[in-house]
Structure 1
Amino acid sequence: MKPFRLEQIRKEQWILLLLVGILIMTAVFPSGKERESMAGSTTESESQSSPQEEADLEELTWYEKRLEAILAQMDGAGKVQVMITESVSRESIVEKDQTVQRQMNQDGDDSTNTGKSQQENKEESTVLEKDGQGRETPYVTRTNAPKIEGVLILAQGGDNAVVVKNITEAAMALFGIEAHKIKVIKMI
């Protein structure tokens, strides 16, 4: 067996070795943009939220600040902080087509007054609308906002039973929730 010498490698083999080396380097070490996107993809996906979720959060924050401002003016409440929790998401109600097919009763009569057996079949299909790009989406007739699930209120006057009762009743009236979903605690 002859010893291996670098002088024995031809020009084509050098080019092939160089290309294989570059291929291995790009596979092992991603480019700067790929590294940034790989590093940012986890934090972006965790922190990204839809425009609707951001709008819901802004609305919830507005409710909290508004309730704080109102309760702080209540006699005996003092300084107040509010936290409101709501159900996870909005509910979209889509339009449905209903097709009713009637079958004749045994006498061949379509009348419903006879008391004889008559069958009725109903079929539902979702109404779709097309956007400017030709994509079909369900036609939403209305969207129900997330429901408030609970209210936590920290108040300087939270140790006074009358103040707690007034704060609880105010939150019940404003948000239409039961008393057991409202907690008033004395602020330090």
Structure 2
Amino acid sequence: MSDKSLVKIKEALLKNKKVLLLVIIGFLGIGLIVLSEFETEKKDTDDNSVCVSEQDYEKTLEKRLEEIISQIDGAGRTIVMVKLYSTEKSEYLKNTQSDFSSDGNEKSEEEYIVVRNGNSEQGVVVKKEYPAVQGVAVVCEGGNIGSVKNDITNAVSSLTGISKNNIAVLKMKYTEEQK
């Protein structure tokens, strides 16, 4: 486009305020669309970084328990193994419609809410439950001392919510390097 054409367009827009307003609104709309696409891509990467695999969850629990238990007086060096029950559970958003017929019977229909994400469709997750802890094994230097064993068992039970029967505290064996 030449400079003369741009000047003519500018003059026409300045004379007709309604057209100028429409052009400005159009550019703002395009800008919002571009920004929303950027936000969607950003959210997708954030969602992926939040997802934790079962193994990562298990390892995180083990590491945190090791950190806590090793601070208990008399525990010493500590190794923890956590066993989980099952996989994580997700609860999805659904739309429920209930109707009552003339004879008093209730008819319910449930439909899951799905959102389109690029080329794929995904359900809207309302609640996510991580797998429950089944059992914990603790091996530590002070695992043979009754009071230390009791303190560790109480701590693990409190932190994981599992029964004390599902917690094993054992003494760590000494290697030649430790003697």
Answer 1 or 2: which has greater helix percent.
Answer: 2
Partner Cα distance (2:49, 2:165) in 1: 32
When residues 88 and 158 of structure 1 are mapped into structure 2, their CA distance, relative to the original with a 3 A threshold, is same
Give the distance between the partners of 2:139 and 2:110, measured in 1 at CA.
Answer: 49
Matched residue, 2:98: 100
Tell me if 1:160 matches 2:145.
Answer: yes
Residue matched to 1:178: 163
Structure 1 unaligned residues grouped into runs of 5+: 1-49, 106-117
Which amino acid counterpart does residue 169 of structure 2 have in structure 1? V
How many angstroms does 1:72 deviate by? 1.6
Aligned to 2:57: 59
Aligned residue pairs total 126
Give SS of 2:115's match: strand
Instruction: Report how far residue 53 of structure 1 moved.
Output: 8.1
Amino acid at match of 2:157: M
Query: What fraction of aligned residue pairs are identical, expressed as a percent?
Result: 29
**Is the partner of 2:57 in helix, strand or coil?**
helix
Q: Which residue of 1 aligns with 2:115?
A: 129
Show structure 1 runs of 4+ deviating over 3 A. 50-56
Amino acid paired to 1:99? Q
Q: C-alpha displacement at 1:54, in angstroms?
A: 6.3
- Residues 20-74 of structure 1: per-residue CA shift (max 9 Å, x gap): xxxxxxxxxxxxxxxxxxxxxxxxxxxxxx9888644233323222222221221
User: Where does residue 83 of structure 1 map in the other structure?
Assistant: 81
Change (3 A) 1:53 1:126: closer
Counterpart for residue 106 of structure 2: 120
In the TM superposition, what are the counterparts of 1:129-148 in structure 2 within 5 Å?
A: 129-133=115-119, 135-148=120-133
TM-score (norm 1): 0.59
Deviations 1:122-161 (A, max 9, x none): 121222111122x322222121112211110001211122
1:157 match: secondary structure:
coil
> 1:138 and 1:150, CA in 2 relative to 1: closer, same or farther beyond 3 A?
same
SS at match of 1:180: helix
What is the SS of the residue equivalent to 1:129?
Answer: strand
Unmatched segments (≥5 aa) in structure 2: 1-47, 174-179
Normalising by structure 2, we get a TM-score of: 0.62
Letter in 1 for 2:96: Q
Q: What pairs with 1:34-49 in structure 2 (closer than 5 Å)?
A: none
CA RMSD of aligned residues (A): 2.3
Larger radius of gyration: 1
Q: Hey, what's the Cα distance between the residues in 2 that align with 1:92 and 1:80?
A: 33
